Structure 1
């Protein structure tokens, strides 16, 4: 028996490599995160002036480097894809010293990095559907993200296993919450 076929790869990103680490969080995603977190965030620990979701924000610039500075409680983070592991490890360090917060990450639970870094100690909120992102200007909408995302809560208390909780994207609007 001979079987033949044509391999069709998945949808590839049309985003230039230099811009892949600069996707901004949409306000819908941020409001959902704050709603699930239960209070407003105090600081955006990985932003640029046009993409910051909080009045106080850190970046990766000298003197304001989020991977060096201590994070106050109730932080928000949408890390650059290429530095997600460094930010996850920093988030665990901060949460263990009493500064909980939430992070937006590509949802890849079948990958080695996900199991190694997020297999224990977090609450993973799984949205029904994919969030769109914004361009570096913080306004222009990007459409058609070719990957799912998850909101990951890093609590200040110990959790032996990771907990997964599904939710409906747009929950903040549905509930009438405005936590920003």
Structure 2
């Protein structure tokens, strides 16, 4: 289905939306982990940086370091990398994630638009070993300055866990705002 709502985001700002804490918390709960080993696309600005913004990962790669050129996306003993890629380069990052998973037998959780009927989705996701987590609605992303936007994105988002074992494409539906199960 075609997206009929045209984006109101200026072209130069499309790659700088920040990941909401709700999405990150849901991702951690879905995987039953306390943090990611690394955030490979950290939108990091000292002006809004504090320990709470990057606490979801042990370390990060920011735009200046260019994670597409990094040898390894994995850090220490934590086997899961997190990637909310720049929107304009999402499939380049997906291919790099697949390469990293195959090379290191670790896993990468990516935030991607949920567009299973598109050719790009078919060309990239189909044939890979991915667990696709589909939320019950849209997440609100944060503006580049870290503040909440007045509007939400005009497409559905999913979390794609690229895994180092054979499973094909597995779809898991979930409710946003997951609660911990003790």
TM-score of the alignment, normalized to the shorter chain, above 0.5: yes
Corresponding position of 2:82: 76
Aligned length: 163
> Moved runs in structure 1, 4+ residues, more than 4 A?
none
Q: Superposition RMSD on alpha carbons, in Å?
A: 1.7
Q: Which moved more, 1:43-52 or 1:107-116?
A: 43-52
Matches within 5 A, 1:12-91: 12-39=6-33, 40-50=35-45, 52=54, 53-61=56-64, 64-69=65-70, 70-72=72-74, 73-91=79-97
Given that 1:33 and 1:151 are in contact with CA atoms closer than 8 Å, whether structure 2 keeps it comes out as yes
- Kindly provide the CA deviation profile for residues 110-156 of structure 1, in whole angstroms up to 9, marking residues without a partner as x: 00110111113101000000000011123x01232211000000112
- By how many angstroms is 1:54 displaced? 2.7
Length-normalised TM-score, structure 2: 0.83
Given that 1:37 and 1:153 are in contact with CA atoms closer than 8 Å, whether structure 2 keeps it comes out as no
- The structure number with the bigger radius of gyration is 1
Q: Does 1:175 align with 2:180?
A: yes
Given that 1:37 and 1:102 are in contact with CA atoms closer than 8 Å, whether structure 2 keeps it comes out as no
